[in-house]
Amino acid sequence: MRVVSFALVLAAFSLPGCSQQPTAQAAQPLTQADAQAVLDTFTEALGSMDLQKVDDMYASDVVAFDPGKAERIGGKVALHVMNAQYVDMKFNQVEMPDPKFQILGPDLFIASGTIHFTGTDGKVKEGEVRYTEVFQKQPDGNWQSIHEHLDYPPKT
């Protein structure tokens, strides 16, 4: 009988939810301030005119839509080409005022709004686009955009 009792105890500990192992701590909720900090880093990268910093803000399987291209842009290699074209425009001042955040979980959120670009090297130039960025926290702890949609605001 002693062998049967020991076997039952072992079986009970192998059932889901009956383990004596410590459980992983639940992820902390993402706040608006956390999302704003990620967007601030993104804005800083865009204004740096450093192609590597801009590229680092995007996941390897990013999907993007650019207002100047009819087709969907898929993957980091294709997005690198678009980012290089952006860096060549020399927009060294970037503002993303009044973003709207939609928190989808501790590791995922959407940011949307407008981006105002100003280039001050040489002849001053300006531009504005509307954006939607979906940011996801990666396994290494960094936040990257997994989906980007840019378009021009309607003429009023």
- What whole-number distance in Å separates Cα of residue 129 and Cα of residue 148? 12
Of the two residues 119 and 14, the one the predictor is more confident about is 119
Give me the pLDDT at residue 79, please.
92
What is the pTM assigned to this prediction? Answer: 0.80
Q: Residue 55's pLDDT is what?
A: 96
> 């290494």: which residue's tokens?
140
Does residue 20 or residue 83 have the better pLDDT? 83
| Residue 125, SS3 per DSSP | strand
- 80's CB contacts (< 8 A; 6+ apart) are 51, 55
Query: Quick one: pLDDT band at residue 19, thresholds 50, 70, 90?
Result: very low
pLDDT tens-place string over residues 27-39: 789 999 999 999 9
Of 43, 107, 54, 105, nearest to 82 (Cα)? 54
- Give 13 or 25, the one with higher predicted confidence: 25
Q: Is the pLDDT of residue 154 over 70?
A: yes
pLDDT for res 26 = 65
How high does pLDDT run on average in the chain? 85
Tokens coding 155: 């003429």
Name the phi and psi angles at 32, rounded to 5: -60, -40
Domain positions in the chain are 30-151
Distance (Å, rounded) from C-alpha 118 to C-alpha 121?
A: 9
At the top level of CATH, the class of 30-151 is: alpha beta
pLDDT of 40-98, one tens digit each? 999 999 999 999 999 999 999 999 999 988 899 999 999 999 999 888 888 888 999 99
Three-state SS sequence of 56-96: HCEEEEEEEECCCCCCCEECHHHHHHHHHHHHHCCCCEEEC
pLDDT, position 10 = 36
